[in-house]
Structure 1
Amino acid sequence: MKCNREKLLSTLMKIVSDYYSKGYRLTLRHVFYKAAPYGLYPFNKRGYRIVCETLLEARLDGKIPWDAITDRSRYWVDPIPKYDSIDELIDDFHSVIMSQLGFNPWRFLNLYVEIWVEKDSIAEFLKPLAYKWLTVICPSRGYTSWTYVWEGIKRIKDYGHENNVILYLGDYDPSGLDIERHLQKAIEHFKVKCEVRRVAVKEEDIKSLQPSPLKKTDPRLKGKYSDYETKYGNKVWEIDALDPQDLFARLDKEFERLVDLRRWEKIMERNRLLRESAKALLERIVDSIPPSNIEA
């Protein structure tokens, strides 16, 4: 398949620009999936390499902002102080620290909800939603360890509710389906009442999503999912192919259905008043501190 690089570049730039203007920073893999329906490259490793090379060239040429694309598979440790004056700290205090001040709504709702995600890249996209609903997001990075599940079980047990829900986001393939089963099995082992509810990818999604080729080496094809190929052919559907806005909307609806919104709003109002009082108190304390004589 011959690739029209000029047309591909134009398509990739539009996709990245549209999402970036809405506040989304896509990964290379997300761009690969979003552009696939245009049929400008083979949907395989070679096509992925073409997309990565084209995007890199565009970024090096200044056609795509460097910040418009993110790499969520790597991180760094940064202990360097960020504030050299109290005033600078106060500027960020409300958003950075004040978000931790307030009443925990899950203590009052007779309900506890978490989001578990198969992939790191999706978990990063959902951070704004985590802050909106004050919920924990758990990227399992494939099959999660029993230790990781146990940490989640401890959180659930700590609340002592009978009604607990894990909203699960994962691929629709033998591994993604089995990861969900494994999670439910692990929860049952610890004798905790908790529903694992798949929000995406669902079977009804596969009609509208770009499929990926099935990995014939997947060992689950010889076990519990031996009939997968008969039912779905040589195709799998990855969570990366879903629109981030769609994921937000789905999860929002799940929370709205699960949560007593009237009680939720009362708790959020109490938190708002508490933070306003705390900020006013801190500002009075800061105003009483003499100016620093330290020179850089």
Structure 2
Amino acid sequence: MSLPAVNIVSPLSRVGKTHIWQSGEWKEANHLPRHRVGKVLTARSVKGLTLIDCRKDSSMGPSKTKKQDLSYFHVGEISPAPENNLIYDRFSPGTDKDDRDLLISIAQTGVRDPLHITCDRVIVSGHRRHAAARLLRLGRVPAIVHQEYCWAEMSRDERLIVLADYNNQRDKSFTEKVRENLITIDTDDAYHALVIDRKQRRQVVESNIKMRSRVKRKKITTTDFLKAVQKVLQTERAYWPLTVRRVHYLLLNNPPLRHDRKDGRYSNNQSHYKALTDLLIRARLARLVPMEAIIDETRPMNIVRTHQNPADFIRQETEDYLKYYNRDLLRGQQNHIEVLCEKDGLGRHITEVASEYCITTTVGRGFASATPRWEMARRYWNSKKANLVLLILSDFDPEGEVIAETFPRSMRDDFNINNIVPVKVAISAVDVEQYNLPSDMDAKTTSSNYRRFAEAHGTKVAELDAAPIDLLQRKLREAIEGSLDMDAFRVEQEQERKDAAEIRAMKKAIVEFIGKKDIG
């Protein structure tokens, strides 16, 4: 029986079965053979595989003829880098096919490719070969010594970078690629990119707004009108949410009575359209019409994005992939914070600040409809936090002051949110005086809120748009941080920096996995 003078490993071994290498193939052995010189072979189990030791001598390396930069070391004289396991998977020939194939190859031919080691004999490349050599009880292995590196004198980060650099060309698993990418990715740079992407996408807090006592909403008396609206909505159930405009035109197909006790049916005019809008708000708040049945009217653009070819499409998709990440920076906070801005023209600047804290901004034109209030209530309920802190930016005029008072009152009365703390951030009478804001306009005497405003503040008003952007942003930032446990917030913020690096590493590994092919 002719056996190679190396350690033999069988990947076919089962309980009670032993295989040996004979005539170029694995064969089941019923007994342990003897070498022709009479040496008794030994067998042992390593990680689920059976090793048959039929070495002729203890030196299992390649030819002893040395190249200029090549040396031979006993396996025990070389140490694996402890940090290697932080990046790369452990050598597992019992479960990993590639590791098993490597073990078999080294069993047959020895270690052909030299290891790369530091001057103090720590491996920077070749951990799998070294592990295989130890399992096979080889004597010596070839290695190239890099005198420029001394493991004992390197920092942890330097060691990881060297390991990643020397194993750059090796085939790796997806998780290994992610861990390897994490070594080379700058955390600060990744976090900065995350913040930029976020901008492009767009614990005791005292209220400074006095809300009036609860007022029960008046019952809807236009029953025919309401029933007609409910019928239209039910008929169009498959197409929810509908716009008010859509409901308006559907009603015109079979116009209902506008009033139960007056003649006159619903018609196509501004007055009746406004009456429908008011009815839908009241009906939704009274739970007579589902909130999700109506969507606020906007004029969105449906932009169809086209591509020049498949390569252009893949490039765009990979650039946007895993791009917008928001860690819940308010995790563990007592307060759920929302920002309400009356002016849509300032929305971008207000959202820019709020997004730094992962806080949602609701931007409206004057009095907000039912949908923004309902969505805000749902976010608060889902947060499971104790309090809803509502930071408000509105005009200093009769309507602006009423918005700051009626919006939180609606949240309390219509959605049963009792732990609401409304705070008017800007602008107030104090702001007008302290920052010398333009206030030469008079309040509109036609406003239903004129008298109350004039009695409290006089007749001069100031608009939110008149305040400098940096002032509004600074006041909002101060209000937000005054509502937060900033120590807890900074802990989450620091973790988000690490998250950003991990996501970038994963994205890089995925893109490499897909492959940069010229598909066009």
Instruction: Give the TM-score category using the shorter length.
Output: 0.5 to 0.7
Matched, 1:236 2:446: no
Distance 1:81 1:156 in 2: 38
User: What amino acid sits opposite 1:209 in the alignment?
Assistant: L
Matched, 1:167 2:391: yes
Equivalent residue in structure 1 for 2:432, among 183, 187, 206: 206
Distance 1:230 1:262 in 2: 43
User: What amino acid sits opposite 2:437 in the alignment?
Assistant: L
- Aligned partner of 1:69 in structure 2 is none
Aligned residue for 2:437, secondary structure, equals: coil
User: What amino acid sits opposite 1:84 in the alignment?
Assistant: D
Structure 1 pair 131/147, CA: closer, same or farther in 2 (3 Å)? closer
2:429/2:457 contact within 8 Å kept: no
Q: How far is 1:214 from its partner?
A: 2.2
2:339/2:390 contact within 8 Å kept: yes
Distance 1:88 1:262 in 2: 39
Matched, 1:106 2:330: yes
2:453/2:459 contact within 8 Å kept: no
Distance 1:219 1:80 in 2: 47
- Aligned partner of 1:278 in structure 2 is 503
Matched, 1:215 2:444: yes
Structure 1 pair 175/262, CA: closer, same or farther in 2 (3 Å)? same
Q: How far is 1:92 from its partner?
A: 5.3
Distance 2:487 2:324 in 1: 21
1:214/1:236 contact within 8 Å kept: yes
1:164/1:195 contact within 8 Å kept: yes
TM-score normalised by length of structure 2: 0.38
Q: Which moved more, 1:276-285 or 1:207-216?
A: 207-216
Distance 2:493 2:456 in 1: 47
1:34-53 paired onto structure 2 within 5 Å: none
More helix, by proportion: 1
**CA deviation map 1:246-278 (0-9, x unaligned):** 111111111222211111111122222122112
More strand, by proportion: 2
**CA deviation map 1:104-123 (0-9, x unaligned):** 12332122111101111111
Aligned residue for 1:115, secondary structure, equals: strand
Distance 1:279 1:169 in 2: 36
Structure 1 pair 74/200, CA: closer, same or farther in 2 (3 Å)? farther
1:184-199 paired onto structure 2 within 5 Å: 184-189=408-413, 190-192=415-417, 193-199=419-425
- Aligned partner of 1:50 in structure 2 is none
Q: How far is 1:174 from its partner?
A: 0.7
User: What amino acid sits opposite 2:381 in the alignment?
Assistant: K
1:101/1:275 contact within 8 Å kept: no
> Structure 1 stretches of 5 or more lacking a match?
1-72
Q: How far is 1:77 from its partner?
A: 3.5
Structure 1 pair 75/234, CA: closer, same or farther in 2 (3 Å)? farther
2:329/2:357 contact within 8 Å kept: no
Return the index of the structure with the highest Cα Rg.
2
1:146/1:186 contact within 8 Å kept: no
Structure 1 pair 90/290, CA: closer, same or farther in 2 (3 Å)? closer
Distance 2:409 2:488 in 1: 32
Distance 1:101 1:134 in 2: 7
- Aligned partner of 1:265 in structure 2 is 490
User: Please, what is the CA RMSD of the aligned residues?
Assistant: 2.4
Structure 1 pair 284/127, CA: closer, same or farther in 2 (3 Å)? same
**CA deviation map 1:150-173 (0-9, x unaligned):** 211111111122222010000011
1:84-163 paired onto structure 2 within 5 Å: 84=312, 86-87=314-315, 89-91=317-319, 97-102=322-327, 104-163=328-387
Distance 2:330 2:306 in 1: 34
Matched, 1:253 2:253: no
Q: Which moved more, 1:285-294 or 1:180-189?
A: 285-294
Distance 2:515 2:485 in 1: 47
Matched, 1:183 2:407: yes
Q: How far is 1:230 from its partner?
A: 5.2
Determine what percentage of the aligned residue pairs are the same residue.
Answer: 23
Distance 1:247 1:116 in 2: 13
Q: How far is 1:289 from its partner?
A: 2.4
Structure 1 pair 90/272, CA: closer, same or farther in 2 (3 Å)? farther
TM-score normalised by length of structure 1: 0.65
Structure 1 pair 130/74, CA: closer, same or farther in 2 (3 Å)? farther
> Structure 2 stretches of 5 or more lacking a match?
1-297
Distance 1:250 1:137 in 2: 15
Q: How far is 1:291 from its partner?
A: 3.5
